[in-house]
């Protein structure tokens, strides 16, 4: 039985680690989403300059995920076997430099190449951070740490719109605003990458800001967890990947990503075309509204899902809300106010599902199997980030409207909901043996 001093050391270690690491990792993920999605706003200026069609823009947006898909697993392995601090630093500096260089592209092919390389550069970041968190947070704290880290997604979109709208309006040194958007937004990633070398220790035993008893406690607890799972790890990985529920979740997330990234990348263009606004600053500020709703929904539904233990409907309800909102748009009088209301509900639906979905693997798999499943699901489903924007671009160019694209997104979110609802109900903790 643990002594009171050990319990005190454990509590203070957990608090100190969360306070030291999570805010910085959160900033890194905000920078990640700014650089990944700034093309959504840059296109408001670059399409005319580069002569981009909707189909070309859809390909340029989505090709990021082709490069992203291939290097996720190697990045995670390097964090585990080499150095998280150095890998994350190199990743940030590389993608920041590539974002900056995107400001110099002159042709669609150059844009394709820049986006592909950006995806490859960012590929190891998310799985690398997930592995890094397992080096610092005990199992009971890991899900909360991931949730706090992933809150950067809606916040990245919330601040990205107003920032992009402001930068797009400048014309410094004879350089257009969309080029400045890439040039400037790559710099924070470079600076944060350099800072990561000094801010992120690889392991608790390297953290000088932990007290010796705190360092000993967290090191011992994490080592105990690894020993308990060591004899199961190989078998659990292959068992997880063969589970029908894992395949269903992967398919569900694929459709979620297909619809979600289609909306995220095309949202500023849709807002401009439907409203007729030419003021990019207004588009940027209004563009933040759906993601405010997404963040609020993410926090409320995440709390509700943890309180009730229910996951599937907490995933399905936001997705179906987004689908229903777009469906209603076909039958109501069109106005800018109603358009923003519809897009706000879509923004809610494309973000609020995150905590519930990523809690699902551990709801029906043991912890070691769930870890393998999370990596497989995210890696495989990411291809939806290419498929969705590309299809929307092709449909828009072919039909001259977004109506077919709306139907595509409605179908994606409906299918995703049905698939996830087919997953088994959560198994009570006492019945799950690791």
Would you kindly state where each structural domain of the chain is located, as residue ranges?
A: 9-230, 234-434
**Predicted pLDDT at 73:** 65
Q: CB burial class (10 A; 0-12, 13-18, 19+) of residue 202? A: middle
Q: pLDDT tens across 275-298, in order?
A: 999 888 999 999 999 999 999 998
Separation of alpha carbons 191 and 197, rounded Å: 11
This prediction has a pTM of 0.85
Range among 30-34, 64-68, 110-114, 246-250 with highest mean pLDDT value: 110-114
Residue 356: which residues within 8 A CB-CB, separation 6 or more?
301, 302, 305, 311, 312, 314, 315
Is a pLDDT exceeding 90 seen at residue 180? Answer: yes
Q: Tens of pLDDT along 97-127? A: 999 999 999 999 999 999 999 998 888 888 7
Instruction: Give me the residue label for tokens 């740490």.
Output: 145
Region 334-349 average pLDDT: 96
Number of H helices, E strands in the chain: 24, 0
Given a cut of 90, whether residue 356 has pLDDT beyond it is no
Would the CATH topology of 9-230 be identical to that of 234-434?
A: yes
For 234-434, CATH gives 1.20.1250.20
Confidence of residue 429 (pLDDT cuts 50, 70, 90): very low
Q: What is the CATH number of domain 9-230?
A: 1.20.1250.20
Query: What's residue 279's pLDDT?
Result: 87
| pLDDT computed for residue 177 by the predictor | 93
Q: What's the sign of the alpha-carbon dihedral 425, 429, 430, 431?
A: positive
Please give the angle made by the CA atoms of 58, 170 and 263, to the nearest 5 degrees. Answer: 25
pLDDT digits (tens, 9 = 90+) for 9-54: 788 888 999 999 999 999 999 999 888 889 999 998 888 888 889 9
How far apart (Å, rounded) are the C-alpha atoms in residues 15 and 278?
48
Segment 176-191 shows an average pLDDT of 94
Residue 430's pLDDT is 44
Task: Find all residues with CB under 8 Å of 236, minimum gap 6, and list them.
Answer: 229, 366, 368, 369, 372
């Amino acid at each position: 039985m643990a002594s009171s001093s050990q319990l005190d050391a454990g509590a203070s270690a957990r608090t100190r680690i969360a306070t030291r690491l999570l805010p910085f990792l959160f900033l890194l993920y905000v920078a990640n989403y700014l650089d990944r999605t700034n093309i959504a706003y840059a296109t408001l200026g670059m399409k005319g300059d580069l002569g981009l069609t909707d189909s070309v823009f859809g390909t340029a947006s989505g090709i990021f995920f082709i490069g992203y898909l291939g290097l996720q697993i190697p990045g995670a392995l390097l964090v585990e076997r080499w150095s998280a601090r150095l890998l994350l630093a190199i990743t940030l500096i590389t993608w920041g430099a590539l974002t900056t260089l995107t400001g110099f592209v002159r042709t669609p092919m150059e844009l394709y190449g820049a986006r592909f390389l950006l995806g490859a550069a960012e590929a190891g970041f998310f799985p690398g951070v997930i592995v890094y968190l397992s080096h610092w947070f005990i199992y009971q704290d890991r899900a909360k740490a991931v949730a706090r880290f992933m809150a950067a997604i809606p916040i990245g979109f919330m601040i990205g719109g107003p920032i992009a709208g402001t930068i797009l309006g400048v014309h410094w040194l004879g350089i257009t605003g969309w080029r400045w958007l890439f040039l400037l937004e790559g710099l924070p990633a470079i600076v944060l990458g350099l800072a990561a070398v000094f801010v992120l220790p690889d392991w608790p035993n390297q953290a000088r800001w932990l007290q010796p008893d705190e360092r000993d406690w967290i090191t011992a607890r994490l080592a105990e967890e690894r020993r308990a799972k060591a004899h199961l790890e190989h078998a659990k990985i292959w068992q997880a990947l063969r589970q029908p529920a894992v395949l269903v979740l992967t398919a569900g997330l694929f459709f979620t990503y297909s619809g979600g990234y289609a909306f995220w990348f095309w949202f500023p263009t849709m807002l401009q075309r439907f409203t007729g606004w030419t003021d990019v600053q207004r588009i940027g500020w209004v563009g933040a509204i759906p993601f405010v709703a997404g963040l609020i929904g993410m926090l409320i539904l995440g709390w509700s899902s943890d309180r009730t233990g229910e996951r599937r409907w907490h995933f399905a309800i936001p997705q179906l809300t987004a689908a229903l909102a777009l469906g209603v748009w076909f039958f109501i009088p069109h106005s800018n106010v109603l358009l923003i209301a519809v897009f706000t509900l879509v923004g809610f639906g494309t973000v609020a599902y995150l905590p519930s979905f990523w809690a699902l693997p551990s709801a029906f798999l043991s912890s070691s199997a769930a870890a393998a499943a999370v990596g497989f699901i995210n890696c495989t489903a990411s291809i939806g980030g290419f498929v969705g924007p590309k299809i929307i671009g092709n449909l828009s160019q072919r039909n001259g409207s977004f109506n077919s694209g709306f139907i595509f997104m409605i179908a994606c979110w409906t299918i995703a909901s049905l698939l996830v609802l087919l997953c088994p109900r959560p198994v009570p903790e006492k019945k799950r043996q690791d």
